[in-house]
Structure 1
């Protein structure tokens, strides 16, 4: 191989993993200032030459050592460009990290440069004295950055791409910029996946999006939201109630577990009947506005994972076939007698009634307020068969599931040793939130550098990333 591949801002290795899955070999050089990130990258890419220092302290000519650079990948810090930062002051030095790509272009002239960032990177411009973007100069610095690359002989294009369109189980949307100086055209890969109800998927021109359900480890028990030693706060209960209505009770196509996904802990909910579980993901942050349900169906891709902490809660509504008529009365009638066997169902009634709509709750001994137009309350119709909710359970997603949602291979090492200790859960979540979705790097490299993707090396990379027992798979 006469050309090398360099991953600047390498982080825990998302871009490097995607590049390796495309080319069949590890990136040659990885640069990152964070020792923990380098520890994770080194654990998964031991053949790579690592530099744990600021990208500005690395001399491109020295590390390249006379070799030609086929691809230089850049994923500069996005936090001081993102709208998610709100009104917090931005820092010029962090917003300016992308200029290092121009330095590499001027010194070692990579044949292809790829850069990934948030969509707001296109608005990159000067800041005022309070660290806020100057509205009238929005995008000025971005245009100067693009012109600098063009003046160095590069053709430059950029687009916003959504990872789930290319086979990743996340709806993460990012800006990708490609610059090349070899006279070849920049190629943007065509989407391979679409929404399950879209005409392109129905006519089989596209594959359906990979659902969030595929990254869930169903063997991990969910704890009932009722009877906890420390009760969930009202905002959380309201969020779960709204989600239960939207994704279980009122959804014409709720996500129902198949028989092979049922685990013993689920049978303990109602061991006298065959259990069914309708599930959804609740967004475990932010304010709930009105009757808005902050969450997503497990039929759909996982929402964007951030470095700010785990914000995804798996909610399971446990269903059993509707028996008797004890919950078939009108909503305007008093609540039917709660027997010893139906006490748990009464809790679900209280939960749904208290937190749906604008009501503040009521005593179970009082009539239920009229809050929905349907005659039956807490019923789920599945293929015409009525089921009743017997419990609602919740747990946060674990890091392994988040990495699967981002598109990492199941065998990826996410808890390497650093400073004599394994990564904490917080560190694992931070690294996946900051990472590039590997499938995006894969498809971009395949489209623009097919000459680096030929031979047996790619198959070796796929074999290396075969999932091990108990871990989640990733397939191209």
Structure 2
């Protein structure tokens, strides 16, 4: 039986590609505008051809034929974390990247595709027009909001996945929920750069968050530096969403430290040995922007079963 092939648009760190390989799919081409991301993707997926370019300017004749298109257009313009001010040119430009997958499927007409983004993509004023464009090209769409924690990922991370099939009727995709994996599965209390919680200069808000978390969860828990988690989170449940900058602090009695890169990598479900940038700030940025590989594995497996 011929192995299915895929291309990966806005490939970033390569979570979609890693998940595709877990599902038995060959990634034959990957594109991204950021040289650092292309370099890392190529190191982890050397069998794919790579392009470093603005994907809205891609000549799709240069991209190999494929069975499945994977795409994660820029999400910042749709994300609550960054805001969506009317007339903001940066956000308008960000949202416009969603048209690159439309032009890709117009040229290649793959049988299947998956688009990943934040749930706010559904509220985009041009989302109905985007869907109409895909429908005009002969694709039926199945949008799904999926929490990574339901798919063997020790992290609550809700993302929108839109399945497309070149057919009259949308796919009836049945996602099997897996048992949640706790943060304790990857937090290493024997490693890391620990500091005392009580030290000069520690912000009052940070101390208040930690006090509230200790009252709820005891001496060991996870405290968020920003966001809505005022009382922390138990390590017996999945961690909150990994973002592009340090967000989570590990609390252990009277000491604390930020979540490490190896821990964030495990929280995203990247396989052991996956290559990351050597600069921690850059590695965290790429991890926070990535698709969780095990989610990609499950959505692709479910799509192939439904197709």
Regarding TM over 0.5, the answer is: yes
CA distance in structure 1 between the partners assigned to 2:105 and 2:204 by the alignment: 54
Q: Which runs of 5+ in 1 are unaligned?
A: 126-140, 194-206, 249-277, 318-391, 416-422, 453-476
1:263-278 aligned within 5 A: 278=219
1:318-467 to 2 correspondences below 5 Å: 392-415=254-277, 423-450=278-305
1:150 match: 135
Aligned to 1:214: 185
Corresponding residue SS for 1:7: strand
The superposition leaves residues 387-426 of structure 1 with CA deviations (integer Å, 9 ceiling, x where unpaired) of xxxxx110001111111101111211113xxxxxxx3111
Count of matched residue positions in the alignment of Structure 1 and Structure 2: 302
Q: CA RMSD in A?
A: 2.1
Which structure is higher in helix share?
Answer: 2
The residue that corresponds to 1:10 in the other structure is 11
Report deviation, 1:218. 2.4
SS in 1 for 2:296: helix
Deviations 1:73-95 (A, max 9, x none): 11000001112223653532221
> Is 1:301 aligned with 2:235?
no
| Alignment partners' CA distance in 1, 2:269 and 2:105 | 30
Kept in 2, the 8 Å contact 1:102–1:148? The answer is: yes
2:146 corresponds to which of 156, 161, 178: 161
Verify the 8 A CA contact 1:211 1:301 in the aligned structure 2. Answer: yes
Aligned ranges for residues 215-230 of structure 1 at < 5 Å?
215-220=186-191, 222-226=194-198, 228=199, 230=200
Q: Decide whether the 8 Å contact of 1:280 with 1:297 is kept in 2.
A: yes
Question: What are the within-5 Å matches in structure 2 for residues 35-114 of structure 1?
Answer: 35-64=35-64, 67=65, 69-86=66-83, 88=85, 89=88, 91-114=91-114
Q: 1:87–1:47: structure 2 CA closer, same or farther, 3 Å change rule?
A: closer
- Quote the offset at 1:165 in angstroms: 0.9
**8 Å Cα contact 1:187-1:447 kept in structure 2:** no
Question: Out of 140, 159, 171, which is 2:156 matched to?
Answer: 171
Deviation at 1:185, TM superposition (A): 5.4
Q: 2: distance between equivalents of 1:87 and 1:439?
A: 30
State the alpha-carbon separation in 2 of the partners of residues 442 and 400 from structure 1: 21
What displacement does 1:109 show?
A: 0.2
Could you say which residue in structure 1 is the equivalent of 2:118? 118
Distance 1:73 1:124, change over 3 A: same
**Match of residue 310, structure 1, among 215, 223, 246:** 246
Distance across 1 between alignment mates of 2:212 and 2:159? 29
Cα gap change, 1:286 to 1:73, in 2 (>3 Å):
closer
- Report SS of the residue matched to 1:83: coil
Supply the distance in 2 between the matched residues of 1:399 and 1:172 (Cα, whole angstroms): 18
Counterpart in 2 of 1:136? none
Partners in 2 of 1:191 and 1:394 — Cα distance?
Answer: 37
What are the superposed Cα offsets for residues 87-109 of structure 1, whole Å, 9 maximum, x if unpaired?
A: 65353222111111211121110
Structure 1 residue 19: deviation in Å? 0.6
Deviates more, 1:172-181 or 1:79-88: 79-88
TM-score norm. by structure 2 comes to: 0.92
SS at match of 1:431: helix
Alpha-carbon contact 1:189-1:443 (below 8 Å) kept: no
Contact 1:400 1:414 in 2 (8 A): no
CA distance in 2 between counterparts of 1:33 and 1:450 reads 33
CA offsets per residue over residues 39-78 of structure 1, 9 Å max, x none? 11111111110001111222112222xx3x2100110000
8 A Cα contact 1:408 1:437, kept in partner: yes
Q: Give the CA deviation at 1:238.
A: 1.4
1:247 and 2:217 aligned: yes
Q: Distance in 2 between matches of 1:3 and 1:165?
A: 25
SS at match of 2:217: helix
Aligned partner of residue 313 in structure 1, secondary structure: strand
Report deviation, 1:428: 0.3
Q: Are the equivalent residues in 2 in contact too, given 1:171–1:304 (CA < 8 A)? A: yes
Q: Which one has a bigger Cα radius of gyration? A: 1
